[in-house]
């Protein structure tokens, strides 16, 4: 089974119930664009802000055409100041708007770190629930595109440590389309991490929007992990850019006689521990894969929680495959730093050897 087949199966299920089937094969960047367009079209309060997102359509062209369609007041080319973008988005949210801001690259979110962790994440709490600040922060993240420094980072753990934020990341075009709309509908602030190396990967997307739950409970499906490949010998948990690599590794393992299950977490905060624990309860083995550094990374949290829940079913310690405790390296050697197919298979072998 591959990610593609899962996605197609789901999409066709949706199409059957839809009055106007409109499935299209799109790259993830276009799918996000379509999701943003739909949000802008259905809710006047939705607006986009960011550096170069208007006339240029963003450096990755994710917002291409949206300013022409919705005007400069709703798709705003901001001054070059990330704290300013976040801080004014908070003020706009207080005034009743639903700002979706783009941080141009992962490595440039830090000037806004204070506004995100100190202000955005805490305002609902500090106001005893009187204020809501439904700001969505889109961040192209992760490596594997041969970029220069500060353009390949995975800062999710730094945000996951902060209560008040939701953090999600799609692995497929279909998820990107629905999850961006659900993130915008969320009453809480959401960090929407876009795996930039997958921007050009294509998948089937149901553009009718019928498959997107934007109701008050939409957040539930936003944070539900999905088993994208079933197996009995070992579970791999991955998200965002590493899901496709994990699926490829499972495929290779199959050739070696190992039946590996792959879970796409989709959400880093909260983490769907239920789905993982159910899976590990059956397989007894877990390998967590992410590009973020392993030390204090999401894998450490997942290992702790799954161990608490599945201590007696575990046949091996939970293993992690992720970035090292180094700054993100130069692009010519990034392949060695990233959780590659071989490194995942190495962890699978080590787990199975226990």
Partner 1 sequence: MSSTETPVAPAGTTELSWPDPCEVAGTVRLVAPDGSRLPAQALELSGHGVYAAAAARTTPDQLRAMYRDMVLTRAFDREATSLQRQGELGLWPECRGQEAAQIGSAHALRPRDHVFPSYREHGVAHVRGLPLHELLHLFRGTEHGGWDPTAHGFHLYTLVIGSHTLHATGYGMGIQRDGDVGTGTDRDRAVVAYFGDGATAQGDVNEALVFAATTNAPVVFFCQNNHWAISAPTSVQTTVPLVERASGFGIPGVRVDGNDAVAVKAVTEAALERARAGGGPTFIEAVTYRMGAHTTSDDPTRYRERAEEEAWSRRDPIERLAALLRAEEHADADFFAAVEAESAELAAGVRTYCRSLTPPPAATIFDHVYASEHPLVAEESAWFAQYEASFDGAPAGGHA
> Which parts of this chain interact with partner 1 (CB under 8 A)?
47, 73, 78-79, 81, 83-84, 86-97, 99, 111, 114-115, 118-119, 122-132, 134, 163-164, 166, 186-188, 216, 219, 223, 269-273
Q: Which is nearer to partner 1, 124 or 151 (CB)?
A: 124
Q: Residue 238 CB, nearest distance to partner 1 (Å)?
A: 20
Q: Which is nearer to partner 1, 123 or 234 (CB)?
A: 123
Cα four-point dihedral sign 330, 105, 241, 272: positive
Helix (H, G, I), strand (E, B) or coil at 14: helix
Q: Residue 45 CB, nearest distance to partner 1 (Å)?
A: 9
Q: Residue 129 CB, nearest distance to partner 1 (Å)?
A: 4
CA 116 to centroid of chain Cα atoms: 17
Cα separation, 229 vs 344, whole angstroms: 16
Q: Which is nearer to partner 1, 65 or 270 (CB)?
A: 270
Q: Which is nearer to partner 1, 26 or 90 (CB)?
A: 90
Helix (H, G, I), strand (E, B) or coil at 15: helix
**Who contacts 122 (Cβ-Cβ below 8 Å, separation ≥6)?**
164
Q: Residue 121 CB, nearest distance to partner 1 (Å)?
A: 9
Contact of 136 with 183, CB cutoff 8 Å = yes
Cα separation, 275 vs 314, whole angstroms: 15
Pick the catalytic residue from 124, 151, 223, 290. 151
Q: Residue 26 CB, nearest distance to partner 1 (Å)?
A: 29
Q: How many CB atoms lie within 10 A of CB 95?
A: 9
Per the annotation, the verdict on 151 as an active-site residue is: yes
Q: Which is nearer to partner 1, 133 or 294 (CB)?
A: 133
Q: What is the residue-wise DSSP string for 244-303? A: HHHHHHHHHHHHTT--EEEEE--EEES--HHHHHHHHHHH--EEEEEEEESTTSHHHHHH
Nearest to 325 by CA among 288, 295, 301: 295
Residues recognised as catalytic: 151
């Amino acid at each position: 089974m591959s990610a593609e087949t899962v996605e197609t199966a789901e999409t066709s299920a949706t199409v059957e119930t839809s009055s106007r089937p409109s499935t299209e094969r799109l790259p993830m960047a276009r799918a996000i664009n379509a999701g943003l367009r739909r949000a802008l079209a259905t809710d006047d309060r939705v607006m986009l802000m960011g550096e170069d997102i208007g006339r240029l359509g963003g450096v990755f062209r994710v917002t291409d055409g949206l300013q022409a369609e919705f005007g400069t007041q709703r798709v705003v080319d901001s001054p070059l100041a990330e704290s300013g973008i976040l801080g004014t988005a908070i003020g706009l949210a207080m005034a009743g708007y639903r700002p979706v801001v783009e941080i141009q690259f992962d490595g440039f979110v830090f000037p806004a770190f204070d506004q995100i962790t100190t202000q955005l994440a805490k305002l609902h709490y500090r106001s005893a629930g009187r204020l809501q600040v439904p700001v969505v922060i889109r961040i192209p993240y992760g490596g594997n595109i041969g970029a220069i420094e500060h353009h390949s980072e995975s800062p999710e753990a730094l945000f996951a440590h902060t209560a008040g934020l939701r953090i999600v990341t799609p692995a497929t075009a279909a998820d990107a389309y629905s999850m961006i709309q659900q993130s915008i509908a969320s009453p809480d602030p959401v960090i929407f991490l876009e795996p930039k190396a997958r921007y050009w990967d294509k998948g089937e997307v149901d553009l009718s929007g019928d498959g997107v739950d934007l109701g008050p409970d939409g957040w539930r499906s936003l944070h539900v992990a999905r088993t994208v490949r079933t197996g009995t010998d070992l579970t791999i948990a991955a998200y965002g850019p590493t899901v496709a690599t994990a699926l490829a590794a499972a495929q290779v393992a199959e050739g070696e006689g190992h039946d590996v299950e792959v879970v796409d977490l989709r959400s880093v905060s909260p983490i769907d521990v239920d789905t993982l624990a159910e899976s590990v309860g059956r397989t007894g083995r877990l390998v967590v894969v992410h590009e973020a550094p392993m030390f204090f990374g999401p894998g450490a949290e997942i290992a702790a929680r799954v161990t608490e829940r599945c201590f007696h079913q575990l046949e091996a310690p939970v293993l992690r495959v992720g970035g090292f405790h180094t700054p993100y390296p130069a692009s010519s050697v990034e392949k060695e730093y990233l959780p590659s197919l071989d490194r995942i298979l190495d962890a699978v072998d080590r787990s199975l050897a226990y």
